[in-house]
Structure 1
Amino acid sequence: MAAAGLAERLSEVRQQLPATTQVLAVSKGQPSERIREAVAAGQRSFGESRLQEAITKQEELADLDGLASPLDWHFIGRLQANKARGVLRQFGTIHSVDSLALAERLARIAAEEALSPAVFFQVKLRPDPSKTGFEPEELRAAWPQLRALAPLRPLGLMTIAPQGLEAAERQALFQDCAHLAAELNLGQLSMGMSGDWREAVAAGSTWLRLGSTLFGHRP
């Protein structure tokens, strides 16, 4: 796909979004050249899920750090405890904080590194053996501890719809996530991917994690 194709896809998506919804371009598995194409089209926020792959790309794209709007790197994959320090050093935002233990570890290391990362708490709102995350009641019970974990900066909730749901079921799930975020006084929602972003937008998503919609399917 030519650079114009990526730019056109990005523009088409943006035209359908409210001002409150941002696009996170999921660049995992994409070479640095494809990220440059997206940057040329005005994209600044990118999502990665593998630490070493991200470090390599960040080094290859270091010349872009001087842009008026520098690149904004988000970690979106499942975060293993032994990768916490490396992820904190490379990413300003983490979308996949899925347990109190992980949050406590991130807070401790962030304090040691003099960092204040933005975080989303991952919630599991429907049964899904392939996904991790806080159950709603578990999150409510842990919330007094989570919100006190300086220097973490809680932004909102992240959720992933299980495969096989109908559009109406996905939208209901996203609405449940929005209601839970409002209950906890959290203003942002990381929900919606290439297959379900329209339902997520309808439910109030503020961050869409889009990979194939922008870059096309990887070979």
Structure 2
Amino acid sequence: MVVDGLAARLDQLRSALPASVKLLAVSKGQPPEVIRAAVALGLRSFGESRLQEAQAKQGALGDLEPLDWHFIGRLQANKARGVLRHFGTIHSVDSLELAQRLGRIAAEEGLSPAVFLQVKLRPDPSKGGFDPETLRQQWPELAALAPLRPVGLMTLAPLGLASDGRLALFRDCAALAAELGLGELSMGMSGDWPEAVEAGSTWVRLGGALFGSRQM
């Protein structure tokens, strides 16, 4: 059972992560009882990428103290309102148009979500994100989209990129965030978090390294 060994894996990760780096437990594909076990071990921040799956889990865990839910999947425009209602942080805002839609709906709903702007720093047909130059040009508009709160940048390394290539990519993302005055960096997953941490990541998104294989 995945819960077996969870405490040991979490202890190992906590000992390896600097105090400046926050652990986002990627709970997509995990049932509510596994999240409940993680909460008992002190975790509060969980990442999901499918709205319906997350809604069901949030309902099943409604007896707990409010948890810190992060949306980490590609966000379709027609799911924007539902995601805003169920997540306090969104890691995958990949265009000005999506940000404008989120800002408008957030204002209607009386919400002030934290958002990470997803950037695409290397060619990769399977991933979206702002081109860095486009982000620089559109940044004044993005920064003014209250009540959205742009807090940082998020990036994903292309599959097959070697360790030194991942480190260079993450450092480029950190430099761009510093240029824009953004303090948070959502970089690094189970296969590349050490390079992301070395480059200055403040949030690592860990699923397999924490929970093992998915159960749903």
Q: Which residue is equivalent to 1:75? A: 71
Partner of 1:183: 179
| 8 A contact 2:2–2:34 mirrored in 1 | no
TM-score normalised by the chain length of structure 2 = 0.98
Partner of 1:3: 3
Higher relative contact order (CA 8 A, sep 6+): 2
Q: Secondary structure at the match of 2:106?
A: helix
- Alpha-carbon distance, 1:2 to partner: 5.1
Match of 1:128 in 2: 124
* Structure 1 vs Structure 2 CA RMSD: 0.9
SS at match of 1:3: coil
Deviations 1:141-194 (A, max 9, x none): 100100000000111000000000110100100000000000000000000000
Change (3 A) 1:2 1:28: closer
1:98 aligns with 2:89: no
**1:45-99 superposed Cα distances (whole Å, 9 cap, x missing partner):** 000000010000000000002xxxx310000000000000000000000000000
Kindly, what percent of the aligned residue pairs are identical?
74
Specify the alignment match of 1:153 in structure 2: 149
Offset at residue 218 of structure 1 (A): 2.5
Amino acid at match of 1:172: A
**1:198 and 2:194 correspond:** yes
Count of residue correspondences: 215
Match of 2:29 in 1: 29
Matched residue SS, 1:42: coil
Moved more, 180-189 or 36-45: 36-45
How far 1:3 moved relative to its partner?
2.9
Cα-to-partner distance string for 1:113-167 (whole Å, 9 max, x where unaligned): 0000000000000000000000100100100100000000111000000000110
Shift of 1:21: 0.3
Tell me the secondary structure at the aligned position of residue 150 of structure 1: coil
Distance across 1 between alignment mates of 2:214 and 2:46: 17
In the alignment, structure 1 residue 18 sits paired with structure 2 residue 18 = yes
TM-superposed CA distance for 1:40, in Å, is 1.0
- Runs of at least 5 residues in structure 2 that lack an aligned partner in the other structure: none
Normalising by structure 1, what TM-score? 0.96
Are positions 1:110 and 2:96 aligned together? Answer: no
SS at 1:24's partner residue?
strand
C-alpha change, 1:2 and 1:160, in structure 2 (3 Å) is closer
Distance in 2 (alpha carbons) for counterparts of 1:147 and 1:139: 11
The CA distance in 1 between the partners of 2:205 and 2:17, in whole Å, is 13
Q: For residues 27 and 189 of structure 2, what CA distance do their matches in structure 1 show?
A: 13
Give the gaps of 5 or more residues in structure 1: none
3-state SS of the aligned residue for 1:208?
A: strand
